[in-house]
Amino acid sequence: MCPARIAAPGVIMKVPANMDWLVDIYNFRVVAQFAPDLVRGLVATIWISALALSIALVVGTLTAFARLETRAGDRIGATYVQVIRSTPLLVQIYLIYFALPELPLLGRRLDEFECGMLALGLNAGAYMSEIIRSGIEAVPRGQVEGAKSVGMSYVQRMRYVVLPQAISKVVPPLLGQTAILVKDSSLVSFIGVFELFSAGLAILSERLMPNEAFMTLAACYLFIYAILLFLATQAQRRLGGAQ
Amino acid sequence: MISAISSALPFLLDGLWMTFKISLATIFFGSLLGAMVGTVRASPLRSLSFVLGLYIHALRGTPFLIHLYAVYFMLPATGVAWLQFDAITASIIALSLYTSTYVAEVVRAALEAVPRGQVEAARSVGMSTLQTLRHVVVPQALKLMIPPMGGVYVIIIKGTSIVSVVGVSELVRAGEQAAQRDPSHMLVIYGLVALMYLAYCYPVLRIVRWLETRFGAGVTINI
């Protein structure tokens, strides 16, 4: 992460003479000047990812159940998943941003942030619906039949038998998909949303310092990735799920 | 609308051709690099395999945009002459690095899925390590790799959309230019772009599903 220390105007941070070679490759004083922006960008990335994740979980769960329970739902859900999987996220973002008209309920068009969030959510939702669906399908048929035979209702079967088993299988891959979602959120900078990537790109465009820009960005994204990877392995170990 | 389609179509088809060329070059170089990384990862070379594990995590943990910009902006800034790439070369290099991490995981999983007894039997009839790989392990592993490699190919096709930022005139870039010329038909143009990606990716996904039913699911990796 980036140190949140800023050099006051006119004050040059002292660097030991034997560190000069490092400043040539990676000038951390410049990065320190951009630190407030980078922190705001990091927060924005986490915020848009969290909102997109909530959309994705809702859409993914609804799609998974629609596909498992009704024939028409399976048809529609399969089309949704195929279309999302066969087109690049960038095109989906552009389509939502440029093509979505004024919404009747809202009385205005969605702004850049909302479009980006929606596109990311719908994209991840398709992949997550596949994960959730295969998690539910992996619960042995006999479990459902056993629950039926002791007189459980549909809601009870789901609540007490199917979902507890499915969740342990589903959580680790969902965290992996979340890591992909965070990386993909860098693409919303294309439609002018301020987030981590656009904050880091400013170091390139204002100071022409590619090393400082991209090494810092890579470190910030790796930081988020490492946390999610840790959570995924922990979940796998605790829940004894997939694999 | 018909006229908007007919005037944009030639540009978009040029873009699709470029997308096609870049994705083909990438699957070739990415598979080559990925196969090497994956073979080492499956081998008993512990320390090398650990280093390559870091390589995979470093690429997996950062957005492709950063790889692309790193190859396009950071490497030329070193001043070394042969690291100055034009946009298309930089795109193919960055995409190949990105692809190699997926291919490496597919190759490693497939090599490890070949039963241990097969290797032991080959060794006990006097085959060398290379002979064992060549005649016993690889033929069995290849079959397991084919279905997941189709999925990797689709990831590449979708990944090529991002190289539009460094000015490669592939499908998305062609769509952006067509939309600038004719802003009132933006929806139609981006719709066409999406349809072209669909027409390219969907058959690949169908073939993958057919291969899975025909030869079994192969190895699965977390993509």
CA distance B101 to B35: 10
Assigned token pair, B166: 């460094």
- For chain B, the residues whose C-beta falls within 8 A of a C-beta of chain A are 57-58, 60-66, 69-70, 73-74, 77, 154, 157-162, 164-165, 172, 175, 179, 186-187, 190-191, 193-194, 197-198, 200-202, 205, 222
| Residue of A86, A183, A213 with shortest CB distance to B198 | A86
- Are residues B77 and A210, on separate chains, in Cβ contact within 8 Å? yes
Mapped onto helix, strand or coil, the DSSP state of residue A8 is: coil
Q: Answer with the residue of higher pLDDT: B187 or B157.
A: B157
Is residue A9 over pLDDT 80?
Answer: no
Given a contact cutoff of 8 angstroms between Cβ atoms, the answer to whether B38 and B144 are in contact is: no
The minimal CB distance from A214 to the residues B66, B154, B198 is found for: B66
- Selected residue of B56, B68, B74 to mutate for chain A interface (largest A Cβ count, 10 A): B74
Domains located in chain B, CATH noted: 2-215 (1.10.3720.10)
> Of A120, A235, A222, A154, which Cα lies nearest the Cα of B56?
A222
ipTM of the complex: 0.89
Would you place residue A64 in the very low, low, confident or very high pLDDT band (cuts 50, 70, 90)?
A: very high
CA B102/CA B119 separation, integer angstroms: 25
**CA of B186 to nearest chain A CA: how many angstroms apart?**
7
Inform me whether the pLDDT recorded for B179 exceeds 70. Answer: yes
pLDDT band for A243, please (50, 70, 90 cuts): very low
pLDDT tens figures, A139-151? 998 998 999 999 9
Confidence class for position A1, pLDDT limits 50, 70, 90: very low
Q: Which long-range contacts (CB under 8 A, 24 or more apart) does B115-121 make?
A: none
The count of C-alpha atoms lying within 13 angstroms of the C-alpha of A69, restricted to the half-sphere facing its C-beta, is 8
The rounded percent of chain B whose pLDDT value lies above 70 is 97
* Cβ–Cβ under 8 Å, residues B96 and B37: no
Contact at CB, B201 and A85, closer than 8 angstroms: yes
pLDDT of A16 over the 80 cut = no
User: What is the C-alpha to C-alpha distance for residues B104 and B36, in angstroms, rounded to an integer?
Assistant: 7
Among A57-61, A207-211, B71-75, B122-126, name the one with the lowest average pLDDT.
A207-211
Mean pLDDT, all residues of chain B = 90
- Both tokens of A35, joined, read 């630190």
- For the residues B86-93, what does the mean pLDDT come to? 94
pLDDT of residue A5: 45
Which of the pair, A221 or B80, is modelled with greater confidence?
A221
**Cβ pair B187:A190 closer than 8 A:** no
Q: In terms of CA atoms, which chain B residue is nearest residue A93?
A: B190
pLDDT higher than 60, residue A13: no
A-chain residues near B66 (CB < 8 A): 186, 197, 214, 217-218, 221
Cα distance between residue B217 and residue B147, in whole Å: 7
For chain B, what is the radius of gyration of the CA atoms?
21
User: In which band, very low, low, confident or very high, does the pLDDT at A207 lie, cut at 50, 70 and 90?
Assistant: confident
Give the amino acid at B132: T
Q: What is the pLDDT of residues B156-175, one digit of tens each?
A: 999 999 999 999 999 999 99
**Contact residues on chain B for A95, CB-CB shorter than 8 A:** 187, 190-191, 194
Which residue did the predictor score with more confidence, A212 or A3? Answer: A212
Q: Is the pLDDT of residue B198 over 90?
A: yes
The pTM is what? 0.87
DSSP A76-143: HHHHHHHHHHHS-HHHHHHHHHHH---BTTTTB---HHHHHHHHHHHHHHHHHHHHHHHHHHTS-HHH
User: What residues in B contact A229, CB-CB < 8 Å?
Assistant: 57, 61
Give me the amino acid identity at A168.
S
